[in-house]
Amino acid sequence: MRNGSSLVGAAQAGDAGALGLLLAQHEAGMRAVALSILGYGPDAEDAVQDAMVTALRRVGEVRDPEAVGAWLRTIVRNNCRARLRGVRPVPVDTAWLDTYSGGPDPEELLEQSALRDWVWHALDELSEADRLVMLLRHFTGVTSYEQIASICGIPVGTVRSRLSHGRKVLAERLRAGAELAHADASSLAAASRRQAEDALATAMRGDFHQVVGDLWHADAELRLPDRVVGGVDAAVRGMASDLDAGVRQRLVNVVAGPGVLIWETDLISPPDNPDHCPPGAVWLHKLHEGRVSTMTLFHP
């Protein structure tokens, strides 16, 4: 059996099978923490599965391989306490681990690794509805159940059930090993990022009509979480109104998957009216045949 230190190193290098073995070794301890805090029931299982998804994204943060078990149990403990408080789980505090001495940033390491490709391949196998809530929860700033419910137009209970199913799929695939090679997801991510940067730069020049002409269907809908605002013309008018008021947007994050594209932006109010707009926006694009069919604008 491979020891924990070698598994951590392999997982950080992008070996999804190694991460699966690592989680299998520590799953009993993670579940014991959840049960001790939440008791038997779906909340405890969700806390463990949520921790596994967190580990997928943040295994690069582990600086002391011998402490990985404590790191995983701390994630579970934070998840459980957050559930008791009725707030979203927060990332584990890793300040007690060895100080990082240089090299790639954990997110950069993950971007470069095969592990990212495996994660995205697994996500792609979820239903469109399950995949969307997983993307929002684990890859964007829209993380609370209430926010996800609002932007998707579904009850909070539905968000919970879809997240639970999505996490189970990922956890099951990890336990199975996930040894196969998969298509390069980083290429899609990079292309989507470049497209978003170009589109937003064009919009900030006052040419948003060109963006919707290039990327949207002619009958696409512009939505807010609770209603349809209009179509392409409404989107162009809305952007023009913001620009006339001196509002600018800066791209923060791009998440892309089959049939969905998510942009997160900072909203920059004019200096003479700093409270003109919320601090940020999420553009949730639903795609049909590669073009936008609906775009929901959400302010977290």
pLDDT tens across 98-137, in order? 333 334 443 444 444 556 667 777 777 788 899 999 889 8
Which pLDDT does position 115 carry in this prediction? Answer: 63
Which pLDDT does position 249 carry in this prediction? Answer: 95
More confident residue, 74 or 292: 292
- pTM (2 decimals)? 0.71
Strand partners, 187: none
Which pLDDT does position 183 carry in this prediction? Answer: 61
Q: Are 148 and 142 in contact (CB under 8 A)?
A: yes
In this structure, are strands 216-224 and 291-298 parallel, antiparallel, or unpaired? parallel
Which pLDDT does position 179 carry in this prediction? Answer: 56
Cα gap 21→170, rounded to integer Å:
14
Mean pLDDT lowest among 23-32, 46-55, 165-174, 283-292: 165-174
More confident residue, 203 or 140: 203
Q: Answer positive or negative: Cα dihedral of 204, 210, 214, 215.
A: positive
**Residue 2 reports pLDDT greater than 60:** no
Which pLDDT does position 86 carry in this prediction? Answer: 66
Cα gap 145→188, rounded to integer Å:
27
Which pLDDT does position 55 carry in this prediction? Answer: 79
Query: What one-character DSSP code corresponds to residue 19?
Result: H
Confidence class of residue 198 from pLDDT cuts 50, 70 and 90?
very high
Confidence class of residue 85 from pLDDT cuts 50, 70 and 90?
confident
Which pLDDT does position 276 carry in this prediction? Answer: 87
Percent of the chain at pLDDT exceeding 70: 83
